[in-house]
Amino acid sequence: MKRIELPKFGKIHPDFFNQHIYHKLGKPDKSVLVKPQNGVDFGVVELGAQVMVVSTDPFFIAKELGIEKAAWFAVHIIASDVAVSGIPPKYLAIDLNLPPEMTKDELVKMWDAVHKECKRLGISVVTGHTARYAGCNYPMVGGATMFGLGKKKELINPCAKIGDAVIVSKGPAIETTGLMAAYFPEFIEVKYGAAFLKRAQKVFYQMSTVKDASIAASVGGLTAMHDATECGVWGGLSEIAQHSRVGMCIDLHKIILQEEVRLVCSCFGIDPYRSISEGTLLATANKKKAKCIVSTLERSGIPASIIGEVTEQNKGMRVFSGNKSYELKHPRVDPFWGKFEEYFKKRNERKNT
């Protein structure tokens, strides 16, 4: 068996998951319709005529963003993973293991923002735990689980089919751009100016697929949806293909690349297609519905495009760029984490000189 090491930062590689976790999931139960697997953001439990969609994540409070913005993002990270099931998020359970240095005012501001965004999205908080503990640090200040409840026929049990169109919303590296512009504005401003920096920082509020998924699901014809988080668009597409046991033919030039994303990634030396992109919806859909899904997203102010087609598994994953093509493999390591650490050190070095 091939030895797979854990990465220094970020999610474990799919091969490690498959070797050491996937076959160890406690007691089997027929009511579990969708269990943990690569390329799927949620689990599903059958409850009679209804299904319950469940997703869990760290509760991520990046204090440097400002408490309110960080809380908005923390809610959307978890809500997005339920939304891509086609069933809207409805209930939240939250465990706050807070850093000792977090003040009363910061906690009040954070929770007010969580309450406000949950109320706007129609999400009810049903249980939780809140305490401060030694050894707890930003940005991982606990964990949360989001639930959705709906009819079984509304569920998009993700399995791309041969002949499907491949759709992407917003393009790659949305989260990379939003976070790098928030954490390291001085590097961007020096290179591109203050006006561009403001534009780049606005990308922050694109870091959610809740709206994208809801709109796409309302059109119909979807066979799979996935939030392009770790390892970005290339990682997300590879995960859909692996889970669905299909191949894909992708046209690089049909993938929207926002100018703010292109320039911010260039500033930090990051490949946008391999980098973390919370907010980018990846979807496969019946070809007859694909154009309607894209146009409906665009009418709602969300850029989207059809970037390729689902093919037979033996054709593999191919990316076409002009007259050239190459095999697409899962990136394994997301470049965002290394660059984030690098520029965090550079920023601190500047402050100390």
**Percent of the chain topping pLDDT 70:** 99
Q: What's the average model confidence in pLDDT over 304-310?
A: 98
Q: Could you read off the pLDDT of 176-204 as tens digits, one per residue?
A: 999 999 999 999 999 999 999 999 999 99
Three-state DSSP at 143 gives strand
Q: Please tell me the predicted confidence (pLDDT) of residue 12.
A: 78
CATH 1.25.40.10 fits 165-344, yes or no: no
Closest CA to 122 of 143, 144, 142, 146: 146
Q: What's the average model confidence in pLDDT over 205-234?
A: 96
Q: Is the pLDDT of residue 71 over 60?
A: yes
Q: Please tell me the predicted confidence (pLDDT) of residue 205.
A: 95
Q: Is the pLDDT of residue 74 over 70?
A: yes
What is 62-79 written as a DSSP string?
-GGG-HHHHHHHHHHHHH
Would you place residue 2 in the very low, low, confident or very high pLDDT band (cuts 50, 70, 90)? Answer: low
Q: Please tell me the predicted confidence (pLDDT) of residue 5.
A: 75
Q: What's the average model confidence in pLDDT over 245-260?
A: 97
Structural class in CATH, domain 29-154 = alpha beta
Three-state DSSP at 191 gives helix
Q: How far apart are alpha carbons 331 and 238 in whole angstroms?
A: 9
Rounded to 5 degrees, what are φ and ψ at 124?
A: -105, 135
Q: What's the average model confidence in pLDDT over 285-306?
A: 98
Rounded to 5 degrees, what are φ and ψ at 115?
A: -60, -45
Q: How far apart are alpha carbons 261 and 84 in whole angstroms?
A: 23
Q: Is the pLDDT of residue 296 over 80?
A: yes
**Percent of the chain topping pLDDT 90:** 85
DSSP 103: -
What's at 31, amino acid-wise?
S
Taking the domains of the chain in order of start, what are their residue ranges?
Answer: 29-154, 165-344
Q: Please tell me the predicted confidence (pLDDT) of residue 1.
A: 57
Would you place residue 18 in the very low, low, confident or very high pLDDT band (cuts 50, 70, 90)? Answer: confident
0.75 surpassed by pTM:
yes
Q: Is the pLDDT of residue 23 over 90?
A: no
Q: Could you read off the pLDDT of 122-151 as tens digits, one per residue?
A: 999 999 999 999 999 998 999 999 999 999
Three-state DSSP at 6 gives coil
Q: Please tell me the predicted confidence (pLDDT) of residue 161.
A: 97
